[in-house]
Structure 1
Amino acid sequence: MVKRLLKIQDNSIVKRITIWRQIKDGLFIAIGVVMASIGLKGFLLPNGFFDGGAMGMSLLLDMLTPVNLSVLIILVNLPFILLGAKQVSVPFAIKSTLAIFALALLVHYIEVPAITADKLLIAVFGGFFLGSGIGFAIRGGAVIDGTEVLAISVSRKSSLTVGDFITVFNVCLFIIAAIFVDIETAMYSMLTYFSASKTVDFIINGVEEYLGVMIMSSYNEEIKQMISFDLGRGVTVLKSDGGYGDKAKELPDRKVLFCVITRLEVTKMLVEIEKIDSKAFVIQYPIKDTKGGMIKKRPLH
């Protein structure tokens, strides 16, 4: 099917890409499971801290019930895995199941000595290692914390966004912790959650955040040459219709330049555009990811 649709003559290309993708996914998931287990065993568990999301729920239940944490990790995430099979895909659910079982086994069997007794360091670095684990697992196409799967499902059936649901979920979780454990632990655990969430964003999105830039100018040809030859970036010319004002009447068929650059390059581009046309209208907006073209690959892709 793929060969016929894409008109690929050599099927070995498809197999090579697929195998290499599976190897990278497996490596990312393995790294994620190890990092998360270090965060749990080396920082959070010895000091009674927890995180947000499904992992935070597992840790909180471990404090309040006699059930082993390894069992709780599986039980809490099981409904999210089943939901992921319906909402995302069956391969996603299978990889997530393997990742969660691997994490549960590591948490149960490995011994990691408590690295520090400083509560601030525990919260920050525990969140860092746990967030790294969650982020690498997501890069591998799986989850070891299924809250986002539930959030996606809820957002499709209500007015809540994914971010809104996760925020509400974690606020409720920390309130319960403050009531049944203590306020100080809940506050430090909130810090753990913030550290973990920022680490997840860093692992998934990388250092080089991409921006889409749209430029409307009477000197679009000069700006296009500058972007292509001076900055070495690809640029696409879009045809547009002017909608308002005298310029719309004078130039009904206008051109809009579009390119994708990193945040580190945007200042230089704006300066160069200013040199060519100080009245140019420039729009910037964030882009989650890119592939192909003249944008260099991200380090972990």
Structure 2
Amino acid sequence: MNRLYKYVVLFVFSIVLGFAFNMFLLPHEVLTGGVTGLAMVLGLLSPINSGIWLVLLNIPILIVGWMKVGKEFIGNSIFSVLVTSISMQYIPVYKVTDDALLSAVFGGVIAGVAIGLIIRFYGSTGGFDVIGVILTKKRDIPLGGLIFGLNSVVVFISGFVFSWGLALYTMASIYITGIVIDRVHTRHIKLNLMVVTNRGEELKSELIKNLIRGITVIDGQGAYSNTERKVLYTVISRYELALVKPLIASVDPAAFVSISETVEVIGNFRRE
């Protein structure tokens, strides 16, 4: 059921991405970034649909991703790219509004939500998304900001091919998409987790079993009660918080829990 749910999400938001392209961005020749943007340029300049170009340009990048990230991620990415490509064949290129700025803004938001959720469910839309995911496995870099940097080259291409006015709209759309991706995809955010509990051994075992994280255990004592307690400290990703909170509540509902965002993690931290 979890696998089916994942593929339903990938399927739906891949279509949503095709909708953002054909209904908001392409009618005004406002591009998205990276390989997808290049596919849109080629689609506008040639009789071949942008969806076909999207598949062709992604082939070498997906091969590299297969070697660096793994077959499950690339399999999901291929599925997403194919669904987006096919949807772009059937969704009409229709101008929802005559205002190019509104189209850039709303197209960027819709694309950002779609891409963020696709990546969150361990897929990608191909192109620089794959490169971005590979790089964020090595460093804690906001994925949206990284993709924005990689995709900025499309702005210059669109400026020379079309006009610099449209290039600025493209820049605005890419920037908005990057911001929205970082609001949806929050894996790069790391949290300090400190738990003061009377059931230290049991809670430690459950956290290790479910999180695969190193945990530091400190002997503590209540200042007023003089009661001996265990203090558990670890660092988790933002995604793992949804698992941790109910787990702690089920083991020790009376535990004192402190959660704060960390600036940087140095050392052996599992990022997958």
- Sort the TM-score into its range (normalised by shorter chain): 0.5 to 0.7
Of 239, 251, 259, the match for 1:289: 239
Give the partner amino acid of 1:54.
V
Matches within 5 A, 1:46-85: 46-85=27-66
Of 178, 192, 197, the match for 1:212: 192
Q: Deviations 1:266-292 (Å, cap 9, x if unpaired)?
A: xxxxxxxxxxxxxxxxxxxx9432153
Query: 1:48 offset after TM fit, Å?
Result: 0.7
Matches within 5 A, 1:91-102: 91-102=72-83
Query: 1:108 offset after TM fit, Å?
Result: 0.8
Give the partner amino acid of 2:75.
I
Of 183, 186, 196, the match for 2:167: 186
User: Percent identity of the aligned residues?
Assistant: 24
Of 117, 127, 133, the match for 1:146: 127
1: CA distance, partners of 2:46 / 2:149: 24
Give the partner amino acid of 1:173.
V
Q: Deviations 1:109-160 (Å, cap 9, x if unpaired)?
A: 2226422111221011101121222122223322113313234557899x9x
SS in 2 for 1:127: helix
Aligned partners of 2:128 and 2:151 also within 8 Å: no
Structure 1 residues 64 and 115: alpha-carbon distance in aligned structure 2, compared to 1, 3 A threshold = same
Give the partner amino acid of 1:211.
L
Of 10, 14, 18, the match for 1:37: 18
Q: Which residue of 1 aligns with 2:67?
A: 86
Give the partner amino acid of 2:96.
I
Q: Deviations 1:30-55 (Å, cap 9, x if unpaired)?
A: 12112101101110111111111221
TM-score, scaled relative to structure 1? 0.61
Give the partner amino acid of 1:45.
L
2: CA distance, partners of 1:162 / 1:35: 23
Matches within 5 A, 1:1-301: 20-111=1-92, 113-151=94-132, 166-205=147-186, 211-212=191-192, 224=196, 238-239=217-218, 258=233, 287-290=237-240, 291-294=242-245
Unmatched runs of 5 consecutive residues or more in structure 2: 198-206, 208-214, 220-229, 248-272
Q: Which residue of 2 aligns with 1:220?
A: none
Aligned partners of 1:41 and 1:113 also within 8 Å: yes
Q: Deviations 1:209-259 (Å, cap 9, x if unpaired)?
A: 7732569xxxxxxxx47xxxxxxxxx986449xxxxxxxxxxxxxx97647
Query: 1:173 offset after TM fit, Å?
Result: 2.1
Give the partner amino acid of 2:109.
F
**Paired residues, what number?**
220
The structure with more radius of gyration? 1
Unmatched runs of 5 consecutive residues or more in structure 1: 1-19, 216-223, 226-234, 241-254, 261-285, 297-301
SS in 2 for 1:141: coil
SS in 2 for 1:293: helix
CA-based RMSD: 3.6
Aligned partners of 1:27 and 1:140 also within 8 Å: no
Structure 1 residues 35 and 165: alpha-carbon distance in aligned structure 2, compared to 1, 3 A threshold = closer
Give the partner amino acid of 1:128.
V
Query: 1:105 offset after TM fit, Å?
Result: 1.1
2: CA distance, partners of 1:122 / 1:138: 23
TM-score, scaled relative to structure 2? 0.67
SS in 1 for 2:244: coil
Aligned partners of 1:148 and 1:162 also within 8 Å: no
